[in-house]
Chains A and B, each alone.
Chain A
Amino acid sequence: MIAQLTLIERQYAIMISAAVAVCGALMILVGRDDAMGIHGALVFLAGILTIFRIGESYFAPAPSDERLAHYYDDPSKVAIVLAMIWAVVGLAVGDWVAWQLVEPDLTFGVAWSSFGRLRPVHTTSVIFGFGGNALIATSLYVLQRTSRARLPDQVSPWFVVYGYNLFCLLAVTGYMMGITQSKEYAEPEWYTDLWLVVVWVVYFLVYLRPLARRKEPHIYVSNWYYMAFILVVAILHIVNNLAVPVSLGHAKSYSAFSGVQDAMTQWWYGHNAVAFFLTAGFLGMMYYFLPMRAGRPIFSYRMSIISFWGITFFYMWAGSHHLHYTALPQWVQTLGMTFSLMLLIPSWASAGNVLLTLNGAWDKVRDDATLRFMMVAGVFYGLTTLEGSFMAIRSVNSLSHYTDWTIGHVHAGALGWVAMITFGSIYATVPWLWKREQMYSPKLVEAHFWLALAGTVIYVFAMWNSGIVQGLMWRTYNESGTLAFSFIDTLVAMHPYYIARAVGGLLFLIGGCVGAYNIWMTIKVPSAVTDLAADVPQPAVVGSGALRAAE
């Protein structure tokens, strides 16, 4: 990997790592009385280790110009491996958290293993660790193929991949030490946030430069989605995290907003994180890998454009549906509700595009588990957005809010849509990236598919039941007009569903481990065929019903 870098690139990489190490040293110095000092040590170590890693191959011969005739895929490969590591960690912690809700004593009796700290470890590991790395990997891959231009240089993409993972690591270790600014999905404190801003701006620049040099006249729709993802996440992150630290040597900070403004900013952020992190980026993935894998172009390119602009402009206004029946002005709530309902149109345009693209190729879906991952993702995307629009109606929300129904909705989207489309895309890219004819074991892909589907269905049905039971019990009155059930009654009623959810989650986790093993073996076991050196993925022949080699 390092041998691929030119001498000057190796020097740049060392300089950047040294700058990171200096930042770490400063953090140790000023934050020595605070948990921030420990983070300083982590940052310092990350910088130093990178320098040593580069130093090892510093005197390796310079790469030949032959490299410029190929796309630069090493960062994507590393990000895919990292995504799978985060997936296994994040799913395992998710299932641990689920068992804690069944049996609250499943902690080690120490603070870091408590529910309150592990829950954000779960959400950050799966959303940012797993989802984020998969998005970075596939976006760089798709960007280069669709614009037929190589990444601009060989240092900045590494900065994005490693910098981003350092961010995730700081976030997750911070929660376990009790560092949080208590904003959901934006928990990391100010210095971690600042670091992400730097990484993210570089990511955006890396994305723009090949596009500027592209050969195709039209920018393929996947790139629009990926760009919206990068740009909007930057805006959201910066605005929602405006805060003033109590001192430069302390992790604690106070938000620039207060009261209901703070709540509105947070949920404007929160819902657009759903929209642009958990939706737009993955739609970009879908619009490339689904046609590629199915060997047929997207059913309606026009629909994908309408969907894009609809999602981009409607989602921005939907955040207030998280704050129904609060101090937020009524008209703002109504605004959020209206836009949530309108969102169904662009959402279903994309979900419909998935199914209509596959229409006529159902034999492939039947035979190819990778394609089936993508199809199921499309179905769950349609389902989740329908459910979301429904839950955004104020009177429906009065039943669903605070209950497990929300958790069911979240995981229908997270497991059914986000994780499924990601696994499908990863199974499609891994053989292309590592020049293998197919995955190490198509049978294990098949096993993963059924484990994931079973896990998702069990999880979502358990939470729907639990949520509705819980919501109804909370609003049942007896003849004298007082509540019929005490809070503890509802907990007893939810207990069996929590067990079911934890079992479903376990299946999903096992599936994830099977996938990680399969991907690892695909990378490790050399390919039997050697003539797969082409840089461009080989889609199934357009229009033919034949199955391509990989499963």
Chain B
Amino acid sequence: MIVEHALLVGISKSFGLFYLIALSVAVVIYAMWPSNKKRFDDAAQSIFRDEAGPWR
């Protein structure tokens, strides 16, 4: 199959555009989803939890 310039342009300008927009929306929803808040706050604190070494 010969991939032509026009085909690549077509894909970039249609699918390429929409999948990136969809992805951006998905990421913002994931990050802002209210019930995820506790998990994220916990993660931010996790580095301070003092444990003396590896668990195994």
Contact = CB atoms under 8 A, between A and B. Distances in A.
A150 interface: yes
A443 interface: no
Interface residues of A toward B: which range? 35 or more
Contact of A220 (B12, B30, B43): B43
Nearest to A314: B20
Interface string A292-304: 1000011001110
Nearest to B23: A313
**Majority SS at the chain B contact face:** helix
B6 to A, nearest CB: 11
Nearest to A218: B43
Interface residues of B, number: 30
A71 interface: yes
A176 B7 CA distance: 44
B35 interface: no
Contacts, number: 86
Interface in A51-101: 68-71
Residue in B20, B40, B43 whose Cβ sees the most chain A Cβ within 10 Å: B43
A542 B9 CA distance: 53
A215 interface: yes
A220 B46 CA distance: 8
Interface stretch (A402-410, A416-424, A446-454, A531-539): A531-539
B55 interface: yes
Nearest to B50: A536
A70 B56 CA distance: 9
A144 B43 contact: no
Given A71-B54, A213-B56, A298 B44 contact: yes
Contacts of B47: 145-146, 220, 288, 291-292, 297, 539
A220 B13 CA distance: 35
23 contacts: A146-B47, A216-B46, A218-B39, A218-B40, A218-B42, A291-B47, A291-B48, A297-B41, A297-B47, A298-B44, A301-B44, A302-B32, A302-B37, A302-B40, A306-B28, A306-B31, A309-B27, A313-B20, A313-B24, A331-B9, A535-B54, A536-B50, A539-B47
